[in-house]
A and B are shown apart, each in its own frame.
Chain A
């Protein structure tokens, strides 16, 4: 069974631009969660989607948004990029509930210049 895939793996953007990251969960998994990882901050929860609905959201500004499609694939979007948005963005999937074991993709490394 294929794991969680994320595209692109690396991205360089400039301040003010916007970016869209994509995540394909493990087949059969319907819950997708997104995290931001920066040095010293661990994994900061962004949001979680299930059946195309956002069920939970972390403490991030409205510039961070996401969506989920009917095939459970998910995208997250960051608008008006700031230097501080440079981070590793991780997607994780689980069968139905994020409280269960989550399986992570390799992440997208975003660098904002």
Chain B
């Protein structure tokens, strides 16, 4: 049972355009969401996070939007650059709910390719 789903295995965009990566979740206990970026043969790097009390968080070119009613979040990258080409993982946890689920749950990732 996949609690965090990234339905697009890959996405290709032109340099300078917007990249939108999507993520859906099913567990209503999740209240903290993160995006990680991963290059081949390296560990994932933390990009940006959002708690469920917010619907938007921005950090430079990266913005994460959270729609709790739809159980959906998205990562916007504007403008996209060739160096952004990587696999992006969405992750979720029940950080603030006090649950004993001591882990992050990850999606399977989306490969973003930014073409020059």
Contact = CB atoms under 8 A, between A and B. Distances in A.
Nearest to B107: A42
Range for the number of chain B residues in contact with chain A? 20 to 34
A103 interface: yes
B41 interface: yes
Contact of A55 (B43, B102, B105, B108): B102
B34 A101 contact: yes
Contacts of B107: 42
A86 to B, nearest CB: 14
B104 interface: yes
Contacts of B101: 56, 99
Interface in B39-87: 41-46, 49
Interface string B79-116: 00000000001000111000011111111110000000
A103 B103 CA distance: 13
A102 B46 contact: yes
A65 interface: no
A42 B89 contact: yes
Chief secondary structure at chain B's binding surface? loop
Interface string A13-45: 000000000000000000101010000111101
Given A42-B89, A42-B107, A99 B94 contact: yes
Chief secondary structure at chain A's binding surface? strand
A45 B105 contact: yes
Interface of B: 32, 34, 36, 41-46, 49, 89, 93-95, 100-109
27 contacts: A6-B43, A35-B106, A42-B107, A42-B109, A43-B44, A45-B106, A48-B103, A56-B101, A92-B43, A97-B102, A98-B102, A98-B103, A98-B104, A99-B32, A99-B94, A99-B103, A100-B32, A100-B93, A100-B95, A101-B34, A102-B46, A103-B46, A104-B36, A105-B43, A106-B42, A107-B41, A109-B41
